[in-house]
A and B are shown apart, each in its own frame.
Chain A
Amino acid sequence: MLKRYRLIWERRAILDTLVRRDLRVRYARSWLGYLWTIIDPLSMALIYFVVFALIFKRPDAGYHPYFLFLVIGLLVWQWFNASINETSRALLAEAKLVRSTNLPRELWVIRVVLAKGLEFLLSLPVLVVIALIYMITGTTHLNWRLIMFPFAIVLQAFLQLGIGMLLAPTTVLADDTIRVVRIFLRMLFYATPIIYALNLVNGWAAHLFWLNPLSGIMEMYRAGFFPESVARGPIVTSIIISVGFFIWGAYTFARLERAVLKEI
């Protein structure tokens, strides 16, 4: 298994080529491409803000300021959602290349997570601007826990790589996977503290949220922006679950590779 990953590391130049290709395709048709990666989460944040803060008058669903709370959650979700959707199709979408180039097949999954991760990083200036506005008006005070932010990125990447390596070969062998993934993602959106805060969940249900690795990841992302205390439990479980997914994914991918190459 380690040998495989050394081989992938040796081919990182190709990974670089692939990620560039993805970004170039995305932005080839129009330079507006970049704006779209921002407009989507921003408009979603606006919708939830209007619905919950203005119509239902419950801005306390999340931390204060609620809009900043939403933007962080939705930017993170966008990376997760896009990664899972596209990694599940990673091998099918590049069937011709998978059939004709002898590269470590994991590259096709890794490249999606990285390309989407780069888009996520490129969308962060928006978060900076919004946070700055709230800081100037005195609503938001950053704290030292902001150092958890980069760790959250790494953790999320591992989680997505793991799930991606599970889904990509599965999709080739069973076509109904993509449908299942789509429904599952929609449910997961509401089962993740994106539009509400984890501390609103009480009792036994709170422990159920520990099983969702995104709960802990969201806690880490938001820790530096809000004074509310950070729940340690979900962070610990999310580290364990993310690493677990990565290992499970890596082994499943290696085990299914032979069958996938015949089918593709």
Chain B
Amino acid sequence: MAAQPLTGADTVIEVNGVGIEFYRSRRRKLSLREMVLRRESTAPTETFWALDDVSFTVTRGDAVGLVGSNGGGKSTLLRTVAGVLIPDTGTVDVRQGVAPLIELTGGFLGELTARENVYLTAGLHGLSKEQVDERFEEIVDFAGPQVRQGIDMPFRHFSSGMQVRLGFAVITTLDEPIILVDEVLAVGDKDFREKCYLRMEKLLESGRTLFLVSHSEADLRRFCTRGLYLKSGRLVGDGPIEDIIEAYNDAPAT
């Protein structure tokens, strides 16, 4: 699973020279005048590159693990591929639909019942009402008996664990061929985690492309065949997952 030629027919993700610049201060200070009138900000603000000239391609069916220390740019890269960040330099070309397992419960509203929430969240990700009807039983089954009991209760009465379960169940029933996972596997109890793992393996077997951010070597080894090693926003390694994990472990702590 080494880097593929750039023009491979099966290329589903092509990231080319991507850079993302963040402001070091929590919030960039801009006045209304500057924004509306297209002036350059007068306040000098320190910036850093969360991603710097990152290039790689992913082919259909690849299972890619992102490796690196905190602040290395893993989540930033994942969000860029998901299309919820726009790069400052370079291009990101994602040729198939994406199911992002990021902020799992983001689409849920506390006032509505769990049932309504399932329909709404699935709808936001492009499923029609009929498609949700078909999958509804499967979704609730997966989320577990506690969720089934409270399916017509307002969602805010759910424990955070139950909320995440339902979120995971909804997103993983989407048909999208690319799956992005940002450390969500760390939540939930042991049984549920195992259930999530099995679901992910099933998805991988059916030829989905996976992008996984994790600090757990066991997870990375279990799901991924290829690793990308990010260090201070730069891509410093791209190869078989074993080699990449080894390289990461050997790297001097900075």
Contact = CB atoms under 8 A, between A and B. Distances in A.
B32 A13 contact: no
B151 to A, nearest CB: 16
Contacts of B112: 21, 24-25, 28
A262 B31 CA distance: 17
B32 A170 contact: yes
Contact of A18 (B100, B116, B124, B125): B124
Contacts of B27: 175, 263
Contacts of B28: 173, 259, 263
B218 interface: no
B150 interface: no
Contact of B84 (A102, A166, A180, A252): A102
Interface stretch (B11-19, B101-109, B221-229): B101-109
A173 B98 contact: no
User: For this complex, into which size category does the number of interface residues on chain B fall?
Assistant: 35 or more
Nearest to A255: B38
Contact of A96 (B98, B106, B111): B106
Interface string B16-47: 00001011000110111001101000000000
A258 B84 contact: no
Nearest to A175: B27
B162 interface: no
B32 A21 contact: no
Nearest to A96: B106
A102 B22 CA distance: 20
Contacts, number: 87
User: For this complex, into which size category does the number of interface residues on chain A fall?
Assistant: 35 or more
Nearest to A251: B38
Contacts of B124: 14, 17-18, 97, 101, 103
Main SS of the interface on chain B?
Answer: loop
A101 B126 CA distance: 11
A257 B32 contact: no
B30 A173 contact: yes
A102 B103 contact: no
Interface string A7-31: 0000001100110110011001100
A191 interface: no
Nearest to A101: B124
Main SS of the interface on chain A?
Answer: helix
B96 interface: no
A37 B86 CA distance: 39
Contacts of B83: 102
A10 B83 CA distance: 17
Contacts of A148: none
B54 interface: no
Contacts of B31: 174
Interface in A157-178: 166, 170, 173-177
Interface of A: 13-14, 17-18, 20-21, 24-25, 28-29, 96-103, 166, 170, 173-177, 180, 252, 255-259, 261-263
Given A17-B123, A100-B107, 20 more contacts: A14-B123, A24-B116, A96-B106, A99-B79, A99-B102, A99-B103, A100-B100, A100-B102, A100-B103, A101-B100, A102-B84, A102-B100, A170-B32, A170-B36, A174-B30, A174-B32, A180-B32, A259-B28, A261-B85, A262-B23
Interface of B: 20, 22-23, 27-28, 30-32, 35-36, 38, 79, 82-86, 88, 98, 100, 102-107, 109, 111-112, 116, 120, 123-126, 128
